[in-house]
Amino acid sequence: MELTERIQILLEEKFATDEPFADCFIVEIELKPGNKLNVFLDSDSGMTFEKCQKLSRFLEGPIDENGWLGEKYVLEVSSPGIGRPLRFLRQYVSNVGRNVIVTLLDKTLQTGVLKSADENQIVLDQILIEKDGKKKTEVPVETAIPFANIEKTVVKPAF
């Protein structure tokens, strides 16, 4: 069994049996050269620094006991961060109301405020600019985008 699978099993058991972590889920586990293990987690109630810290300590025990990464390694447990693509429906749902950039399979981009998400699609609130001669009018529209057409979606940072 690969290390990433072992880590996944440990975390899933923790989430299933430890109430403060019941709404947590794995986004991605990466093993990089130089014994660097990145564990990206999210939570329906928000991934706090404290949760990441506790889960990092939880993982250090089995990693050290079993020598899975040797004596020198780097373990980083964090939320995915603003620039990483949304991967799961629950991430879309928790980001409703935020600005997103959606890259479609045909490489076109759609931007707007994420209005809703369900098993089949997302809905964006967008502002289209219509020109009538020299006059420009902003027209609010709702755009439904099926998940089957989405390559990736990232939350657009608000500055």
Q: For residue range 80-125, list pLDDT tens digits in order.
A: 877 889 999 999 999 999 999 999 999 999 999 999 999 999 999 9
**In a shared domain, residues 62 and 94:** no
The region that residue 49 occupies, defined by phi over 0 for left and psi between -120 and 50 for alpha, beta otherwise, is alpha
**In a shared domain, residues 61 and 120:** no
17, 52, 100, 115, 125 from 111: Cα distances, Å = 39, 30, 6, 12, 9
Query: Could you tell me if residue 84 is inside a domain?
Result: no
pLDDT at 15 over 80: yes
pLDDT at 76 over 80: yes
Q: Residue 45's pLDDT band (boundaries 50, 70, 90)?
A: confident
Domain boundary among 31, 59, 78: 78
**In a shared domain, residues 54 and 107:** no
Rounded CA gap, 50 and 59, in Å? Answer: 14
Closest CA to 15 of 45, 56, 57, 43: 43
Average pLDDT rounded to a whole number, residues 34-43: 94
pTM: 0.81
Rounded CA gap, 119 and 97, in Å? Answer: 18
- Domain span at residue 48 reads 3-78
**In a shared domain, residues 113 and 55:** no
3-state secondary structure of 11: helix
**In a shared domain, residues 33 and 73:** yes
Measure the CA dihedral 86/17/55/44, to 10°: 30
**In a shared domain, residues 13 and 66:** yes
Residue for token pair 């027209």: 139
CATH number of the CATH domain containing 51: 3.30.300
**In a shared domain, residues 150 and 99:** yes
Domain count, the chain: 2
Rounded CA gap, 27 and 38, in Å? Answer: 11
Predicted pLDDT of residue 132:
82
Query: Could you tell me if residue 29 is inside a domain?
Result: yes
Q: Residue 158's pLDDT band (boundaries 50, 70, 90)?
A: confident
CATH number of the CATH domain containing 137: 2.30.30.100
Q: Residue 131's pLDDT band (boundaries 50, 70, 90)?
A: confident
Which residues are registered as beta bridge partners of 12? none
The mean predicted confidence, pLDDT, of the chain is 94
Query: Could you tell me if residue 149 is inside a domain?
Result: yes
pLDDT at 159 over 80: no
Instruction: Give kind and range of the element (H or E) at residue 91.
Output: helix 89-94
